[in-house]
Amino acid sequence: MNWDQIEGKWKEMKGQLREKWGNLTDDDLEMIAGRRDQLIGRLQIRYGIANEETSKQVDEFVSSLKPRVKMMNGATHQS
């Protein structure tokens, strides 16, 4: 999944983000609005994590979304 897709499905993604990073507020999620740089910045503020570590966590989170998204879109082919 890329960031254009995340922006397009932002309302659906908010729950998963809140599950992963519970310190993000509704206002944070509204302000982020699917933008990677905003997400990283908010996570740094809420968790006090360095930029490099935050970027790594965000990238790992996005990578973990791929199987869920395929299943939600009705794909039946599994590798």
In the chain, the domains with their CATH numbers are 3-69 (1.10.1470.10)
3: pLDDT strictly greater than 90: no
Q: pLDDT tens, 23-50?
A: 999 999 999 999 999 999 999 999 999 9
74: pLDDT strictly greater than 90: no
Q: Can you tell me which residue has the tokens 């935050």?
A: 54
pLDDT on residue 66: 62
